[in-house]
RNA sequence: GGGCGCAUAGCUCAGUUGGGAGAGCGCCUGCCUUACAAGCAGGAUGUCGGAGGUUCAAGUCCUUCUGCGCCCACCA
């Protein structure tokens, strides 16, 4: 079979559908229990149905897929639960826009009609991102796909609401809420984005009965219409005579008291604050303390209402502000306006300035709920991949306020509260027949729906069947790792924590991995408004999902922000191409392997060569180290180790080392010597065997990162080596175990091969420096300094000859005279002579040696000064001192040789 | 205003308990060596943002300054 020379990404879709057909991603509580497997569960942060895959999703889901595939190979019963959330506001906005094109409004359709349109829209577009995740290679259990408005999840929402209500943890009350005058709904604190805005600080004064005026400042003059007090700091000498007197709000003629409250900072401005309890959160608190009336002067659309006075009624916030400034000026009460940059809250979905408005809304009482969620972190049960994220989490919970959960929307879970004509509230999962307080039978349900995050907060257990006691819930809950981005630590992570603790009695996960943000090439956030977003699907089309996944995870610290640009994909693509070709090479050189398998499997004396042992040892260590890194969620490091190993050790060294053995049979056949042929075949066989085994292992450790190419190559290699046909996929293969790891032990094979690499590198460096082309083969003389080295050079003669570009290698004893026209190289355990006098430029050679000498002297001086340092000798670990001494000896020996060389 | 992060080679970034400064890309030299030119071999490149401190030893710990970035926040 011909294999193309370049990495073939076009098979990804086909491979993926084969996986689905095989059902390899399915999780089963029953099977897991029956087989005594431990569960490993990840809950995918449900993207909302309006979203399409962006780079953040790509990174986030690649991380999850790596962890879940790794755990699956390790033999866990793995569940990666996928799903979507209904995103009440975002979805309504999208659908309303679509309807607006046809000239239809939400109100034209009515609640029922609009909901029908929303479901239709969800039917058509809600699954887009799911298909996009499949292109990325995500190995979710898609048969369990959930949506926050599924029947089961909706039931969980009602159950949770009713229980919290019955325990008095949910209440309805008049509070100032963040009101979006455009969306006409309240929103939670977390949905408010604060932006620095250029504005003015307006200075005015109000007349005070009998004593003139009192000056104050405000950024929002229109709220003056709702003022119900003037406040000064307690014991402020400037104003102590005024406290208790009444000022007058001119436009509405209201008399308001002058009070003292510690909220006022006497140092700021004039030390006087006007108090508008119905339109400012602080003033609301002050109002409570002083029992002030709350005067709401605004309609829900942001215009002034009838209480604001006939002169202003119907004006927008902005117009009312202008008119009030004019009117105050006319009355001589306007002082000045100074430019001011201040933070103004905006709705994160539509960018409209938030208006704090008094509303009857539903709230979740947070103090009692937040405590266990905070304790879980402080006690160490909940771990974040970086401490700083834990701090953010804790800080938020420590300063949490009650959560406004009602939204004046239609798309979502309608609040299960019913009102009778006497104003009583009945909360019930199903429509109640009568009022639970007075028995009245005419009940109307609350018009509002719940905050989307209320349902998302239940996600870890609602998706597993709660409130039913399912075996899934029993087996898979609590989950293991949550992978998400910084932006929703508050929205989602914290809320899942307290809901899980509340309803399951156990936190929903023990590890949180917060991934960094994928920015554009200049480090700016990718955003629609900037138009700098890069579509992962385009990248997948151009490079393949594996390349994208590898680029996103290789080397980096995944908790740090990263910059994305197309050029960064090339190294990843090049690596996959390298792996592809290495496999192609191995497959091409499997001639005779199957016959040999039968011949030699039971044959004695088929020991591995030194280089086989070496690469096996290294591969074994790699497997252990990668597993350790993945366990520790150091994904970037795990990936980096694999990539470096495959490229450097396996491809650049091992494959080159075994080439003479692979080609040896052919050569032996030319001689016709039966014994030689048989020996060559044995050598070839062990090379083929080791190549296949190591490569097979490498595919497995790489599989979680780049699942498609490893599946493809794994099957191709197994086909070539004649592995039984029941091996149909790499996804269900166990994580490789070659033999028990010898942690930290450097094997003899490893030390030996490292020495050979050093020798080869040294020869290559000299050759390059002297500009000897690779095609020019030269005779090399090796003089081993001891018996061990002599054996080593003998054992590795074949590849040593090939890799150093030698025509042949002569082993000589130290007492044999070396031809004078040679260049000598000193390596560990041997002197090497390149008889290439004709090619040597004496001046260049001396320059090289001098440079080498200086370098060695420097190193020795460095170590000497260290060894002469009393502090170091007294306090440094013994092993370190010994290592330094050893290095010094080594350098000194080389220096002696170099000096000798320079003399001669 | 509070909290946090980043600053290391020309560029993008690693550097896990303090112990000889790394990778990829780019650059220079030589190679189409029967897997791969998306490749191979060799090479150059850093007062690890500035200043102090702790230590025998600091990119790594502490203090402070500068320049970016993020999050939180009710100073009228």
Q: pLDDT tens, A435-487? A: 999 999 999 999 999 999 999 999 999 999 999 999 999 999 999 999 999 98
pLDDT of A472: 96
**Could you say which nucleotides of strand B lie within 7 A of any protein CB atom?**
3-6, 12-16, 19-20, 23-25, 29-43, 55-57, 68-76
Which of the residue ranges A186-190, A281-285, A578-582 has the most confident prediction, judged by mean pLDDT? Answer: A578-582
Task: For residues A260-272, give the mean pLDDT.
Answer: 83
Which of the residue ranges A216-230, A239-253, A470-484, A598-612 has the most confident prediction, judged by mean pLDDT? Answer: A470-484
Is residue A854 over pLDDT 90?
no
pLDDT over 90, % of chain A: 59
pLDDT of A714: 96
Task: For residues A83-87, give the mean pLDDT.
Answer: 95
- The percent of chain A in helix, strand and coil, each rounded to the nearest 5, is 50, 15, 35
A667 touches strand B (CB under 7 A): no
Q: Give the closest nucleotide to A281 (alpha carbon vs C1').
A: B74
A391 touches strand B (CB under 7 A): yes
pLDDT of A848: 65
A194 touches strand B (CB under 7 A): yes
Gap from A515 CA to B65 C1', Å: 31
Gap from A622 CA to B15 C1', Å: 19
Gap from A561 CA to B63 C1', Å: 28
* Cβ neighbours around A421 below 10 Å, total: 12
ipTM: 0.95
- Rounded to 5 degrees, what angle do the CA atoms A530, A534, A538 make? 145
Is residue A602 over pLDDT 80?
no
pLDDT of A738: 67
Confidence of residue A528 (pLDDT cuts 50, 70, 90): confident
A860 versus A544: which is more confidently predicted? A544
Q: How far apart are CA A272 and CA A552, in angstroms?
A: 55
Q: A9-33: per-residue pLDDT in tens?
A: 999 999 999 999 999 999 999 999 9
pLDDT of A581: 96
Residue A701's Cα: distance from chain center in Å?
20
A192 touches strand B (CB under 7 A): yes
Gap from A5 CA to B32 C1', Å: 15
Q: How far apart are CA A607 and CA A689, in angstroms?
A: 11
Q: What is the pTM of this model?
A: 0.90
Q: Give the closest nucleotide to A765 (alpha carbon vs C1').
A: B42
pLDDT over 70, % of chain A: 96
Specify the 3-state DSSP secondary structure of A678.
helix
Mean pLDDT across chain A, nearest whole number? 89
Cα–Cα nearest to A456, from A412, A407, A417: A412
Is residue A368 over pLDDT 60?
yes
Is residue A605 over pLDDT 60?
no
Task: For residues A236-243, give the mean pLDDT.
Answer: 85
Gap from A130 CA to B5 C1', Å: 33
Gap from A714 CA to B68 C1', Å: 46
Q: A274-308: per-residue pLDDT in tens?
A: 999 999 888 888 888 888 998 999 988 889 989 88
CB A609 within 8 A of CB A683: yes
Is residue A128 over pLDDT 80?
yes
Phi, psi values for residue A507, rounded to 5°:
-65, 150
Gap from A765 CA to B43 C1', Å: 9
Task: For residues A165-189, give the mean pLDDT.
Answer: 87
Q: Give the closest nucleotide to A653 (alpha carbon vs C1').
A: B40
CB A618 within 8 A of CB A642: no
Confidence of residue A354 (pLDDT cuts 50, 70, 90): confident
pLDDT of A744: 53
Gap from A120 CA to B73 C1', Å: 41
A634 touches strand B (CB under 7 A): yes
Task: For residues A218-228, give the mean pLDDT.
Answer: 91
- Rounded to 5 degrees, what angle do the CA atoms A27, A30, A31 make? 65
Q: Give the closest nucleotide to A581 (alpha carbon vs C1').
A: B35
Q: Give the closest nucleotide to A870 (alpha carbon vs C1').
A: B56
A584 touches strand B (CB under 7 A): yes
A469 versus A889: which is more confidently predicted? A469
Q: A707-761: per-residue pLDDT in tens?
A: 999 999 999 999 998 876 667 899 999 999 866 555 456 788 888 999 999 999 9
Gap from A871 CA to B58 C1', Å: 16
Cα–Cα nearest to A486, from A831, A50, A60: A60
Provide residues 484-513 of A with CB closer than 7 Å to any strand B atom: 486-487, 490
Is residue A544 over pLDDT 90?
yes
Is residue A2 over pLDDT 70?
no
Q: A658-678: per-residue pLDDT in tens?
A: 999 999 999 899 888 999 998
Gap from A639 CA to B56 C1', Å: 37
Q: Give the closest nucleotide to A760 (alpha carbon vs C1').
A: B41
Left (φ > 0), alpha (ψ -120 to 50) or beta: where does A505 sit? left
pLDDT of A547: 97
A585 touches strand B (CB under 7 A): yes
Task: For residues A627-647, give the mean pLDDT.
Answer: 95
Q: Give the closest nucleotide to A571 (alpha carbon vs C1').
A: B24
Cα–Cα nearest to A295, from A312, A309, A314, A315: A309
A764 touches strand B (CB under 7 A): yes
Cα–Cα nearest to A24, from A57, A82, A83, A68: A68
Task: For residues A572-583, give the mean pLDDT.
Answer: 96
Task: For residues A346-365, give the mean pLDDT.
Answer: 86
A682 CB-side CA count, 13 A: 14
């Amino acid at each position: 079979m011909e294999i193309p020379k370049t990495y073939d990404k076009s098979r990804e879709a086909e491979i993926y559908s084969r996986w689905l057909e095989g059902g390899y991603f399915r999780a089963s509580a029953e099977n897991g229990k029956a087989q005594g497997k431990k569960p490993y569960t990840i809950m995918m942060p449900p993207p909302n149905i309006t979203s399409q895959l962006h780079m953040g999703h790509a990174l986030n889901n690649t991380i999850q897929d790596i962890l879940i595939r790794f755990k699956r190979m390790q033999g866990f019963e793995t569940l990666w639960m996928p799903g979507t959330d209904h995103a009440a506001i975002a979805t309504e906005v999208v659908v309303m826009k679509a309807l607006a094109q046809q000239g239809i409004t939400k109100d034209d359709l009515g609640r029922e009609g609009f909901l029908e349109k929303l479901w239709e829209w969800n039917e058509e577009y809600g699954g887009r991102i799911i298909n996009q995740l499949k292109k990325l290679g995500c190995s979710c259990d898609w048969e369990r796909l959930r949506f926050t408005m599924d029947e089961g999840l909706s039931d969980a929402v009602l159950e949770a609401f009713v229980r919290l209500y019955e325990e008095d943890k949910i209440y309805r009350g008049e509070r100032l809420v963040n009101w979006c005058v455009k969306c006409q709904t309240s929103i939670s604190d977390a949905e408010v984005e604060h932006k620095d805005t250029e504005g003015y600080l307006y200075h005015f004064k109000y007349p005070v009965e009998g004593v003139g005026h009192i000056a104050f400042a405000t950024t929002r003059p229109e709220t003056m219409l709702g003022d119900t007090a003037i406040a000064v700091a307690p014991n402020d000498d400037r104003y102590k005579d005024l406290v208790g007197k009444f000022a007058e709000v001119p436009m509405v003629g209201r008399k308001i008291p002058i009070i003292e409250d510690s909220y006022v900072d006497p140092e700021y401005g004039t030390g006087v604050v006007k108090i508008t309890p119905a339109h400012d959160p602080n003033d609301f608190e002050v109002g409570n303390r002083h029992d002030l009336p709350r005067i709401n002067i605004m309609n829900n659309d942001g215009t002034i209402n009838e209480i604001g006075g006939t002169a202003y009624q119907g004006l927008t916030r902005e117009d009312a502000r202008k008119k009030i400034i004019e009117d105050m000026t006319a009355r001589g009460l306007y002082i000045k306006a100074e430019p001011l940059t201040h933070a103004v809250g905006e709705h994160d979905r539509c960018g409209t300035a938030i208006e704090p408005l008094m509303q009857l809304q539903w709230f979740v009482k947070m103090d009692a709920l937040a405590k266990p969620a905070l304790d879980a972190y402080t006690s160490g049960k909940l771990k974040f991949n970086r401490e700083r994220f834990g701090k953010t989490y804790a800080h938020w919970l420590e300063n949490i306020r009650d959560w406004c959960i009602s939204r004046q929307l239609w798309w979502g879970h309608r609040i299960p509260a019913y009102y009778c004509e006497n104003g009583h509230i009945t909360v019930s999962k199903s429509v109640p027949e009568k009022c639970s307080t007075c028995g009245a039978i005419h009940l109307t349900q609350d018009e509002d729906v719940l905050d989307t995050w209320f349902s998302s907060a239940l996600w870890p257990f609602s998706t597993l069947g709660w409130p039913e006691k399912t075996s899934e819930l029993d087996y898979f809950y609590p989950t293991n790792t949550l992978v998400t981005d910084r932006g929703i630590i508050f929205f989602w992570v914290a809320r899942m924590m307290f809901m899980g603790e509340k309803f399951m009695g156990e936190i929903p996960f023990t590890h949180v991995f917060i991934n960094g943000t994928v920015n554009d090439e200049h480090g700016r956030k990718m955003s629609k408004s900037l138009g700098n977003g890069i579509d992962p699907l385009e990248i997948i089309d151009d490079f393949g999902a594996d390349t994208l996944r590898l680029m996103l995870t290789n080397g980096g610290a995944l908790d740090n922000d990263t910059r994305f640009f197309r050029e960064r994909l090339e190294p990843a693509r090049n690596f996959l191409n390298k792996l592809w070709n290495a496999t192609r090479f191995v497959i091409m050189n499997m001639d005779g392997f199957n016959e040999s398998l039968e011949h030699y499997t039971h044959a004695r004396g088929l020991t591995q060569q030194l280089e086989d042992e070496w690469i096996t040892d290294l591969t074994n260590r790699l497997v252990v180290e990668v597993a350790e890194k993945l366990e520790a969620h150091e994904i970037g490091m795990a990936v980096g180790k694999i990539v470096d190993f495959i490229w450097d050790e396996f491809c650049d060294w091992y494959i080159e080392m075994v080439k003479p053995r692979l080609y040896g049979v052919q050569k032996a056949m030319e001689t016709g010597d039966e014994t030689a042929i048989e020996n060559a075949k044995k050598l070839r066989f062990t090379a083929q065997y080791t190549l296949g085994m190591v490569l097979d292992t490498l595919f497995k450790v790489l599989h979680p990162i780049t699942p498609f190419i490893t599946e493809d190559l794994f099957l191709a290699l197994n086909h070539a080596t004649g592995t039984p046909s029941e091996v149909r996929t790499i996804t269900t293969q166990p994580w490789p175990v070659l033999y028990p790891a010898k942690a930290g032990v450097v094997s003899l094979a490893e030390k030996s091969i490292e020495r050979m690499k050093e020798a080869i590198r040294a020869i290559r460096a000299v050759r390059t420096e002297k500009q000897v082309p690779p095609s020019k083969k030269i005779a090399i003389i090796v003089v081993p300094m001891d018996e061990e080295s002599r054996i080593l050079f003998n054992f590795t003669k074949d590849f040593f000859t090939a890799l150093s570009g030698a025509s042949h290698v002569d082993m000589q004893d130290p007492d044999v005279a070396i031809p004078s026209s040679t260049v000598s190289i000193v390596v560990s355990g041997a002197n090497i002579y390149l008889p290439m006098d004709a090619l040597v430029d004496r001046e260049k050679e001396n320059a090289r040696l001098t440079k080498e000498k200086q370098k060695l002297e420097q190193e020795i001086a460095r170590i000497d000064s260290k060894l002469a340092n009393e502090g170091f000798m007294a306090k440094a670990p013994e092993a370190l001192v010994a290592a330094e001494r050893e290095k010094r000896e080594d350098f000194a020996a080389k220096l002696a040789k170099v000096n000798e060389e320079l003399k001669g």
